[in-house]
Amino acid sequence: MEIKKLTTVEEMEAATAKLLETAEKVGADTWQQRVKNQTPHCGFGEKGTCCRICTMGPCRITPKAPKGICGCDVHGIVGRNYLRFTAGGASAHSDHGREICHTLYQTRADGNYTIKDPEKLLKIAGEWGIETEGRDIYDIAHEVALTGLNEYGKPFGTQRFLSRAPEERRKVWEREEIAPRAIDREVSTAMHMTHMGCSSEPNALIRQALRSGLSDGWGGSMMGTEFSDVMFGTPRPVDTEANLGVMEKDMVNIIVHGHDPSLSEMIVFYANDPEMIALAKEQGAKGINVAGVCCTSNEVAMRHGIPMAGNFLQQENVVLTGACELIVVDVQCIFPALGPLSKCFHTKFVTTSKIAQMPDSEFMHFTAETAGENAKAIVREAVLNFKNRRPELVNIPNLKQKATVGYSLEAIKKCLDGVTNSHVDALGTTKPLVDCIRSGVLRGAVAMVGCNNPKVRPDYAHIELMKKLIKHDIIVVLSGCSAQAAAKAGLMDKAARTLCGEGLKRVCELVDIPPVLHMGSCVDISRMMLLASDISCDSGWDIPQIPLVGCAPEWMSEKAVSIGNYVVATGIDTYLGVDPYVKGSDQVDGLLKGGLREWVGANFVVEYDIEKLGDMMIQAIEDKRAALGI
Ligand code: BF8
Ligand code: SF4
């Protein structure tokens, strides 16, 4: 079999270098330049040893000044900073989930948003004890949405979705007093604990970081994922393409960027509207092409096969192609740089959410009630902008790869079911996967997630680690910008199975899957938590025993830290390629990298050397196998 040819990081970098020439020509500012301006970074910030939570400070910890003015030591300061970082991430993910709850509340049979997966809705209603018998599906949806919204502020009890975790795990969370209560309460408690004159004891601070993280992963994010599936369909394998070459020279290019599928779904819908396509043709374009950036891209790729233009550090590149008529964004991971950058081209930069308003953008408020007309107006604006393109600036790199995406947990189980014909229950099972791991055909699994970060050569860590892992018969599940790195390189093409070890290759052939599986956006890491829970139930292994680790080699955001906290608190060791600003305190650092194991059975590992990081993960998986005696 011919070995699959991947797109190399060098090829991607060469394409970027060409685009940077355009940037220079038009006098545009880019992140590559801004990194130079910001380097070296502040050492206090990097170590987490600067406190500015009251105006007696800011206090910076040095050997000469080992305490802040209030007497807080370095461990308290580093721990508080870490907890605030986590709370920022948990709030962002969970607020995304809240928006999705509101959208679910707006669903109507004849409305902008409808129910596409009633089965999933009924399943959740059943789990939550909501009456379904003889009721209209939209009545049920509204009650589920309202119940979900109450998860944010309920005065008593813990998150409803915790019931999906294995019993052992729930006991750990209770024992350690980290079972998450109301989502907003966990964020609020984090902010309160870190107020001047509250907690400065590292154990207490890190415990609350785990709890806030869990309120995200098993609360807000999980609702975001589940209700998105209910409204927009649970992803199933679908073919698409990835990298900047998906932009079309002769078409109107609309880039959707951000996170909330409520917006991107509507844009995709109206980009297919015959009236809009006719208008595009009138303007001299061959049609309308929608492509995505960041997690929004994952959402619409997984459900509609919309091509993925790129990940986080490629967002400026889409504008630099000179072929982007409009870039429409909602929330999170959007560079404010896009405003001034788009002004150097004909590109319209449209912000839509009151949560993310930026200078030099056109604000077109998008709401669930007016979604249809908002989306149509945005698509129309893009189409009418086609004529303003400056042909001399157009340069679309000739880079793209095929990808099969859409491996929700349900889809993975269905694929496995198809092979074994087990049909153990209607919803499928992970037992065939467990059998493969038990027999050693697969050594284990890695959940690779997260961003790009200029501190790591962009995409290099993701791609190199994936190549290494699949060669060792370790299956990789992906989300977020890590997933797009894989797709851009060609690792999500089923033909990439030629790069696997013999065992994984056999599994991929039998099940007809690529060796790295796209599980969705960052809120969809909740899908991975459910996958781990299912494997635990199907195998009888406790989650920390499963030959499974998490990895975020290029992470950068507060959300990523919140995720890291809930992945570790769920019992999955997590390997990072970037430090979470805690080096200033050996106590906090020691807790995260070791002490947590006593609480939750897993911890963080940080290693900048990507080769070593990969070796460590493989070793950890082999150690877990040995401990299980398999
Ligand atoms: O939530 S992986 S850069 S896009 S933070 Fe952002 Fe990071 Fe990408 Fe999605 Ni996740
Ligand atoms: Fe300084 Fe304490 Fe105020 Fe922080 S809370 S800025 S350490 S005085």
Backbone phi and psi for residue 628, each to the nearest 5 degrees, phi listed first = -85, -10
Task: Give the Cα separation of 346 and 3 in Å (integer).
Answer: 41
CA distance linking residue 169 with residue 546, whole number of Å: 13
pLDDT at residue 416, as a whole number: 87
DSSP 8-state code for residue 312: G
Residue 530 has pLDDT above 60, yes or no: yes
CB neighbourhood size of 598 (10 A)? 10
Question: For 249-253, 367-371, 562-566, which range has the lowest pLDDT when averaged over its residues?
Answer: 367-371
Give the span between the Cα atoms of 577 and 554, in whole angstroms.
6
Q: What is the mean pLDDT of residues 456-483?
A: 98
How far, in Å, CA of 627 to CA of 122, rounded?
40
Q: What is the DSSP string of 525-580?
A: HHHHHHHHHHHHHHH---GGGSSEEEEETT--SHHHHHHHHHHHHTT--EEESS--
- Ligand 2 centre distance from Cα of residue 594 (Å): 28
- What is the reported pLDDT for 420? 64
How many Å is the maximal CA-CA distance in the chain? 72
Ligand 2 atom nearest 51 alpha carbon:
4
pLDDT at 423: 52
pLDDT for res 3: 87
Protein residues whose CB sits closer than 6 Å to any atom of ligand 1: 259, 294-295, 312, 333, 450-451, 480-481, 521-522, 557, 559-560
Answer whether 54 contacts ligand 2 (Cβ < 6 A).
Answer: yes
Instruction: State the average pLDDT over residues 312-338.
Output: 98
574 beta partners: 550, 604
Residue 229's pLDDT is what? 98
**How much is the pTM?**
0.97
Q: What is the pLDDT of residue 250?
A: 98
Nearest to 58 by CA among 46, 70, 76, 47: 70
Are 309 and 399 spatial neighbours (Cβ–Cβ below 8 Å)?
no
Q: Which of 239, 290, 218 is nearest to 261 (CA)?
A: 290
Please state, rounded to an integer, the average pLDDT across all residues of the chain: 97
- The number of the ligand nearest the C-alpha atom of 96 reads 1
Task: Check if the beta carbon of residue 407 is closer than 8 Å to that of residue 235.
Answer: yes
Give pLDDT tens digits for 371-397.
Answer: 999 999 999 999 999 999 999 999 999
Pick the atom of ligand 2 nearest to 69's CA: 8
Please state the rounded mean pLDDT for residues 125-154: 98
DSSP E strands, 16-77:
50-51, 59-60
What is the predicted pLDDT for the residue at 441? 96
**How many whole angstroms from its chain centre is CA 601?**
24
Mean pLDDT of 568-592: 98
For residues 181 and 543, give the distance between their C-alpha atoms in angstroms, rounded to a whole number. Answer: 22
Contact yes or no for 394/322 (Cβ under 8 A): yes
Helix spans in 27-155 (H): 31-38, 43-47, 74-105, 118-127, 137-150
pLDDT band at 185 (very low <50, low <70, confident <90, very high): very high
Q: Ligand 1: distance of its center to the CA of 202 in Å?
A: 28
Query: What whole-number percentage of the chain has pLDDT above 90?
Result: 97
Residue 101: pLDDT band (50, 70, 90) is very high
Distance 196 CA to ligand 2 centre (A): 7
| Rounded distance from Cα 521 to ligand 1 centre (Å) | 8
Q: Taking Cα atoms as reference points, which of 33, 153, 26, 56 lies closest to residue 95?
A: 153
608: alpha, beta or left? (left if phi > 0; alpha if psi -120 to 50): alpha
Asked whether the predicted pLDDT for residue 446 surpasses 70, the reply is yes
Shortest-distance atom of ligand 1 to CA 559: 5
**Mean pLDDT across 463-489:** 98
* Lookup: tokens for 598: 């006593």
Atom in ligand 1 nearest the alpha carbon of residue 295: 9
Q: How many CB atoms lie under 10 A from the CB of residue 511? A: 17
Q: Are 453 and 555 in contact (CB under 8 A)?
A: yes
User: How far away, in angstroms, is 557 Cα from ligand 2 center?
Assistant: 25
Q: DSSP 3-state assignment of 418?
A: helix
Report how far ligand 2's centroid is from the alpha carbon of 49 (Å). Answer: 11
| Structure-block tokens of residue 186 | 């966990």
pLDDT, tens digit (0-9, with 9 covering 90-100), for 213-227 = 999 999 999 999 999
CB 566 within 8 A of CB 213: yes
Confirm if 356 and 329 have CB atoms less than 8 A apart.
yes
pLDDT value at position 2? 84
Q: Is 59 in the pocket of ligand 2 (CB under 6 A)?
A: yes
Contacts 24+ apart (CB under 8 A), 18-27: 18/395, 18/397, 19/317, 19/320, 19/321, 19/395, 19/397, 20/320, 22/320, 22/322, 22/393, 22/395, 23/316, 23/320, 23/344, 25/393, 26/344, 26/345, 26/393, 27/344
Q: Which residue matches tokens 């600036």?
A: 393
* Mean pLDDT within 290-309: 98
